Structure 1
Amino acid sequence: MSDTAQPVPELATANISNNTSPLLRSEPHKVAAGRGFSWLTEGWALFMKEPLVFSVMSVISLVAIFILGLVPFLGGLAITLLWPAMMAGFFLAFKHAKQQQAVTANDLFEPFKAPANLLGVGALYLLAGTVLILVLGIVAFMSLGSVTDIMNGNIDMGRLAVGGILMLLISIPASLALAMAFVFAPVLVHQHQVPVVAAIKRSFAGSLRNILPFIVFFVVLTVCLFVISIFVAIPLLGWLLGIAVAIVYLPLFCGALYCAYCDIFLDHNSAEL
């Protein structure tokens, strides 16, 4: 398969109507494993172009998530449906930063002006997550035995252990697949008008094709967070450091993912880079 950039069929109309619109690759590009580390350093460099603005966007997002989280059931539902629009806002801001354009907190809210397709991404994410939880719930229930056994307290520990292992074998790959399918869907829907289902498929294909750089990415990120957690234990200074990390982590993570998106989905000669 060729990685030559060309308009994909569903984007033909958008590219005709806007000659300056950058092109997606016909197929997601495969990059070297070491790019996983570069995504973090490049994401940090983009963050440092407008650290105050990105920090304000992070605070707004975290406060909104906290407030919504206080609302029983509906709050969690709203967060699940709205996170793609929030991610699209961060990706738009990093696009502006990379193109040397003005970055403002308004970038965060721009995707909410026409959120229908992004809400569709959130709805499918909710559906997939619900199905996974139901499957895990069924496995957990079956590992406990029959209803009569449960009521009588007759629990087969061997069966329970097998059920626990089975839940791990299902939940870990399923959760990873879910993350890969949805991580780039918001930016593909928002910036390229890719249909929701097609964006999810493209996101999964691009992530799967670059599983090695993503492993490097998450290993480096985990090590960094572990080192930071040691200093967070320091009284007072640790609190301040923890707050700073909480504020910086979200935009840094989104910035790194934006760099990954540029590597995997865009032509390197495209205007969007």
Structure 2
Amino acid sequence: MTEVNPYQGPETNVTSPQGEGTFTLGGPHKVTVGQALGWLGEGMRMLSGHWGVVIGALVLVMVITMGLQLIPFLGPLAQPFITTLLYAGLVKLFHRIATDGRSDFGDLFAGFSERTGPLLLLALVQIGVYLGALLVVGGLMAISLGGSMSLQSMDPQAMSSGMGVMMAIMLPLFLIVFTLVMFLFYFAVPLIMLGGMGLGGAMGVSFRACMKNLLPMIVYGIVVMLIIMVAALPLLLGLLFVMPILAGAYYVSFRQVLTNPADGAEHGPE
């Protein structure tokens, strides 16, 4: 009996219900830092002729997200699930642009009718995993803080030194844990929405893809954070220009890392 690895991306053609494009999942492929930074330029090129539709879709996502926060109790509970479905729609929107050369605002809501169950399950698992990671890190911090407090009765200076050591250890640990958790979900939405994968397989492939490209992902993430910080300075108006580019770059990264070279994406050495 052949044993199937649930974390292996399928080597199959994937065609969306609308038939706007076919691609073949493969890899994960390894990319260079230069290729990762090139996602930004490719994301911008994708937007040519589609700026209005993409900006409108992103603004609507922001309005819906903010509106949900105004609904007592139910709004914040529903937000992660609705946001995940909308993100899936954005992926579908860029997929249509890349494969069919046209944009359809209605794709934003594709997640509410396609792959809805797995996407909602993804949102639920994501909440659980992040809460679990937060509890683990918080528990470690509480234990360390308790140890430092016990030093107070002996020597206040020793307590101050202990607090400094604790922060020096816990901050990098916090960053490492939540980066690894993020890797589980980074490519999960397009793998589920476009690739038709199940939750476990999508999370496994996403994690392997990010770990295989650890340095490019870190450098790209730092550059993106700097860009967002600069774009947010002029009353957040710069984000109207930057966020569509980042959304396009995300789709480009998925195609480059997790689809076969025959689909037209350039890949680095394996």
Normalising by structure 2, we get a TM-score of 0.80
Q: Deviations over 1:163-189 (max 9, x none)?
A: 323321321011111221111101101
Say which SS state the counterpart of residue 30 (structure 1) adopts.
coil
Counterparts in 2 of 1:272 and 1:161: CA distance versus 1, 3 Å:
closer
Rounded to whole Å, the distance in 2 between the matches of 1:212 and 1:144 is 33
Counterparts in 2 of 1:71 and 1:84: CA distance versus 1, 3 Å:
same
> Cα offset for 1:191?
1.0
Partner of residue 3, structure 2: none
Rounded to whole Å, the distance in 2 between the matches of 1:32 and 1:12 is 25
Partner of residue 117, structure 1: 118
Partner of residue 139, structure 1: 140
Q: Percentage identity across aligned positions?
A: 23
Partner of residue 254, structure 2: 261
> Cα offset for 1:112?
1.3
Partner of residue 170, structure 2: 167
Q: For the Cα contact (< 8 Å) 2:28–2:257, is it kept in 1?
A: yes
Partner of residue 99, structure 2: 99
Counterparts in 2 of 1:258 and 1:12: CA distance versus 1, 3 Å:
closer
| Structure-to-structure mapping, 1:45-194, within 5 angstroms | 45-114=45-114, 115-145=116-146, 156-194=159-197
Q: Deviations over 1:28-55 (max 9, x none)?
A: 0111221112100000111233000001
Rounded to whole Å, the distance in 2 between the matches of 1:10 and 1:205 is 14
Partner of residue 5, structure 2: none
Matching residue's letter, 1:203: S
| Structure 2: unaligned runs, 5 residues or longer | 1-7
Rounded to whole Å, the distance in 2 between the matches of 1:271 and 1:32 is 17
Matching residue's letter, 1:58: L
> Cα offset for 1:107?
0.7
Counterparts in 2 of 1:136 and 1:159: CA distance versus 1, 3 Å:
same
C-alpha RMSD of matched pairs (Å): 3.1
| Structure 1: unaligned runs, 5 residues or longer | 1-7, 233-237
Bigger mean CA offset, 168-177 vs 137-146: 137-146
Partner of residue 22, structure 1: 23
Partner of residue 3, structure 1: none
Rounded to whole Å, the distance in 1 between the matches of 2:170 and 2:76 is 24
Say which SS state the counterpart of residue 22 (structure 1) adopts.
strand
Q: For the Cα contact (< 8 Å) 1:11–1:192, is it kept in 2?
A: no
Bigger mean CA offset, 56-65 vs 77-86: 77-86
> Cα offset for 1:264?
0.7
Counterparts in 2 of 1:97 and 1:28: CA distance versus 1, 3 Å:
same
Partner of residue 31, structure 1: 31
1:252 aligns with 2:253: no
Matching residue's letter, 1:124: V
Say which SS state the counterpart of residue 192 (structure 1) adopts.
coil
Counterparts in 2 of 1:29 and 1:272: CA distance versus 1, 3 Å:
closer
